[in-house]
Structure 1
Amino acid sequence: MVSTNRTHVTEFALRGFAGGPILHMILFVVLLLVFIFILAGNTFMIVIIIKDYRLHLPMYIFLVSLSFTETFINCMVVPKMLSIFIARNALISRVGCFAQCFAFYILTPSCFLFLGLMSIDRYAAVCHPLRYPTIMTNKACLCSVCACFIISFMCIFYPLITVPTLPICNHIVDHFFCEGEAIMKLFCVDTSILRLLSVISSVFILLGSLIITIISYIFIVSSVLKICSVTGRSKTFSTCISHLTMVSIVFGLSIFNQMRPHRNYFIELEKALIVGNIMVAPLLNPFVYTLRNQKVKDSIRDAIRSHKIF
């Protein structure tokens, strides 16, 4: 039971999407299928990379970290979202709501940082091929992955210790999960400082990762253009196509979401965009890195032949 006392709210009600039962049923079926593909595709790719020692390379360490993080985010958000289509105003405990919110905002920035690390890896492989094994060691890669999570945690540290103590005036969250902006609207106090810090940290992570990626590819393109052979240029740059594809999708969706007008009457568009941000990249990841990567295709083929996938 939800208390009306502003300091003793124990549960939140997630409003979900607007629309009637037919639309909700269609969305339920479509998003459930997408969720199943995300789980199956990313789990399959992670297992293939872990089991095949030929893929124990820096690029694939970052890819496993990215796939695992994106899949975990989906497992944290999508089941509750799907339940709302069946049971309107699905309830979530206060502790569960804040845990979902903070986990989402710790893990999501890490995905952008992983893409930035992958661009640095491509830069080292293309521009410094002889020094690549000594620059991008597995130990350095694992330390970089840990650093991404630490940076993401530091960005959310102040809200993490502040938000749970703020008084709450309403228990209805106008979203399909405990999204930060929707939670901010429930507090009885001014949250302008928290909103400002949220914007600053988002810009820092998003633009920082994007700038790293752009600078890396400026050097990569410069190095590729110095190759005399057209075949050599094509072969060298083909190693970056999969990463460039995911960078375009992830950063494109995020930048559009950040630059669009934030108004109450755009709330349903915002929800749709967040669904896209959460589900599109992990859905496409296995296909992009499998169909355009000969090493992964060879590993899958060998695993199927030997019946040793799991």
Structure 2
Amino acid sequence: IPVNLSEVSEFRLLGFSEVFHLHPLLCVVLFSLYIFTLMANTVIALIINGDDTLHTPMYFFLMQLSCLDICYLSVIVPNILENLMVGTIGISRTGCAMQMFFFLFFGVAESFLLAAMSFDRYVAICYPLHYTMIMNSSVCKSLAAGTYMCGTAVGLLHTITTFSLPFCGLIINHFFCEIQHLLELFCDNTSPVEIQVIVVAVFAIVGPFLMIIYSYIHIISTILKISSAEGQEKAFSTCSSHILVVTLFYGTASSMYLRSKSTYSASVDKLLSLSHTVVTPLLNPIIYSLRNDEVKGALRKRWRKINLVC
């Protein structure tokens, strides 16, 4: 008979207990990726902040993306590393609630930020003569603030709802306090909360994605009207990095939150979560630095200055 544990002070995170023999290797690999990702995103943010030629709306949003990726990663990875080093770990009820809130906050904020970035490209390509007037500093800051407000709203909604209900279990078969795994520990009927999760996922994942699709329909339509192939290539090159990042982010996010229960597997779920929380923030700065001439130019300029000083 399930015992009401609503006053429990600690949960147990199983992490990757099913592959215990691989923990040392996974720990080394994940720690290396974590450090590299932190450094790469920090470099991107510092380069944009320190180079006047990159003080444009597109790079303002890219700097926000790098900062979000740093925070998003740091909410989860330290927990995973601890789990890999010592096995099953405990996390306090308050710590679990905070981890859930910040994971949702940064994840939802990034989702809406990608939509804001697509709007920026839409204005730049479809209305180039009015770009500086439309995408002024006030508009950019308002869009950024809006993404954080959406993240805060979703984070608070799920966290308050989840931790106001009684739990009948302590063991979370995951490497962090993810809402779908906490639902498995509820004593009561979870259907209302499951519906809430789906509705919010549609708002936070499908909504911004549809905004991006709408923007790119108009962007592609405008690009196809450009007479020269060189002009088309130049216009499309400004969007290619964003398209790759969008595909990576929404592909992993939708597979986590919008898939059928009949296809659920704990191992697959952990793998998808790991790719979304670790691989996506790792690849974002690589995609933008390798595919963007202005970022590469700013990096080379900064490197030459460092060499001159040394």
Measured against the shorter chain, the TM-score band is over 0.9
Structure 1 equivalent of residue 229 of structure 2: 230
> SS of the residue aligned with 1:27?
helix
Instruction: Show CA shifts across 1:96-145 (max 9, x none).
Output: 01100111112211111111111110010011111000111122111111
Rounded to whole Å, the distance in 1 between the matches of 2:155 and 2:77 is 22
When the two chains are superposed, the root-mean-square deviation of aligned CA atoms in Å is 1.9
Amino acid of the structure 2 residue aligned with 1:307:
I
Structure 2 equivalent of residue 67 of structure 1: 66
Structure 1 residue ranges without an equivalent (≥5): none
**Contact 1:49–1:56 (Cα < 8 Å) also in 2:** yes
Q: CA deviation at 1:265?
A: 6.2
Amino acid of the structure 1 residue aligned with 2:13:
L
The answer to whether residue 194 in structure 2 is matched with residue 195 in structure 1 is yes
1:163–1:258 distance in 2 versus 1, CA, 3 Å: closer
1:110–1:79 distance in 2 versus 1, CA, 3 Å: same
- Superposed, 1:36-75 pairs within 5 Å as 36-75=35-74
1:265–1:155 distance in 2 versus 1, CA, 3 Å: closer
TM-score by length of 2: 0.93
Which stretch of structure 1 is more off in the superposition, 248-257 or 215-224? 248-257
Rounded to whole Å, the distance in 2 between the matches of 1:235 and 1:149 is 32
Q: CA deviation at 1:305?
A: 1.3
**Contact 1:15–1:90 (Cα < 8 Å) also in 2:** yes
Amino acid of the structure 1 residue aligned with 2:169:
N
Structure 2 equivalent of residue 271 of structure 1: 270
**Contact 2:100–2:159 (Cα < 8 Å) also in 1:** no
Structure 2 equivalent of residue 174 of structure 1: 173
**Contact 2:100–2:178 (Cα < 8 Å) also in 1:** yes
**Contact 1:11–1:92 (Cα < 8 Å) also in 2:** yes
Amino acid of the structure 2 residue aligned with 1:248:
T
Structure 2 equivalent of residue 161 of structure 1: 160
- Superposed, 1:116-265 pairs within 5 Å as 116-262=115-261
Q: CA deviation at 1:187?
A: 2.2
Rounded to whole Å, the distance in 2 between the matches of 1:168 and 1:258 is 22
Structure 1 equivalent of residue 29 of structure 2: 30
Rounded to whole Å, the distance in 1 between the matches of 2:179 and 2:256 is 14
Rounded to whole Å, the distance in 2 between the matches of 1:264 and 1:176 is 20
Q: CA deviation at 1:258?
A: 3.8
Amino acid of the structure 1 residue aligned with 2:269:
E
Rounded to whole Å, the distance in 2 between the matches of 1:231 and 1:112 is 32
User: Matched residue pairs, number?
Assistant: 306
The answer to whether residue 283 in structure 2 is matched with residue 284 in structure 1 is yes
Amino acid of the structure 1 residue aligned with 2:261:
H
Instruction: Show CA shifts across 1:183-212 (max 9, x none).
Output: 122222223212211110101221111111
**Contact 1:12–1:94 (Cα < 8 Å) also in 2:** yes
**Contact 1:16–1:175 (Cα < 8 Å) also in 2:** yes
